[in-house]
Amino acid sequence: MSILSVELTEENKREVRVVSFDEKGKIDSISSKVPEQENLLYAYFTMDDMIPFMQGTNKMSDYLVSKTKDVFTYEIIKTKVSIKKRSKESQLFQIPDVKNVDIDITYDGKEFKFIPSEEIVKGSGVNNSQQVTVGGKHAHVFFITHDNKPEHLIQTMQIPFADLLSGPVSIKFDYNKYSISLYTQKFLETYSFRRL
């Protein structure tokens, strides 16, 4: 469900409502008037899209106003998104170097980069301002261990699913890139770990 803002015109001014919101996208009110408070932002949305909010079918606290790629358009999105786990495996999994994966992970000795595939980004429809759960978890955990020794943990990294599924994530970690392995519990189908 995508609720996009509209431009106010003479023809549609009776058919739109003003949605005011703060800088984080939290909806403050839905009205026929522009807010008088200077610290509130606002956008126009069609009356048909606002009826579920005005009737109480949709709770304003369950939604955010978010920017789109078009700087003149906003959209109303759910604050919480729950995605089913795509992998049935629950054991710790050593991430190999393979092609065409859901999450491509690279490490250059200074920084890990987690890059989701376009299919995952488009399919999830998530942005980083939402609260996302996958398989009941809010963050994806990755374990950095000594090379091929999962019992020798060096560090744990937790990446919120909202960040991981909406675009690239970088995490600083300075270590010898050839003396580590990366493990995780699979939430998605495929992963790849490459040393650069």
Query: Which residue, among 169, 168, 139, has the nearest Cα to 156 in the 3D structure?
Result: 139
Instruction: Looking at the structure, tell me whether residues 121 and 28 fall in a common domain.
Output: no
Give the CA angle between residues 79, 131, 59 to the nearest 5°: 25
The answer to whether residue 84 is domain-embedded is no
> Torsion angle of alpha carbons 9, 12, 14, 16, nearest 10°?
-90
Instruction: Looking at the structure, tell me whether residues 60 and 101 fall in a common domain.
Output: no
The answer to whether residue 87 is domain-embedded is no
pLDDT digits (tens, 9 = 90+) for 153-167: 999 999 999 999 999
* Structural domain harbouring 9: 3-78
Q: How far apart are CA 35 and CA 31, in angstroms?
A: 8
Mean pLDDT by 10 residues, the chain (196 residues): 86 92 89 84 93 90 88 89 67 85 94 94 84 88 92 94 93 94 90 93
Provide the pairing of β-strand 191-195 with 103-107.
Answer: parallel
Instruction: Looking at the structure, tell me whether residues 183 and 102 fall in a common domain.
Output: yes
Instruction: Looking at the structure, tell me whether residues 102 and 165 fall in a common domain.
Output: yes
Distances (CA, A) of 111 to 98, 100, 122, 141, 196: 20, 22, 25, 16, 10
Instruction: Looking at the structure, tell me whether residues 55 and 127 fall in a common domain.
Output: no
Entry pTM: 0.71
Instruction: Looking at the structure, tell me whether residues 180 and 133 fall in a common domain.
Output: yes
The count of structural domains within the chain is 2
pLDDT digits (tens, 9 = 90+) for 106-116: 999 999 999 99
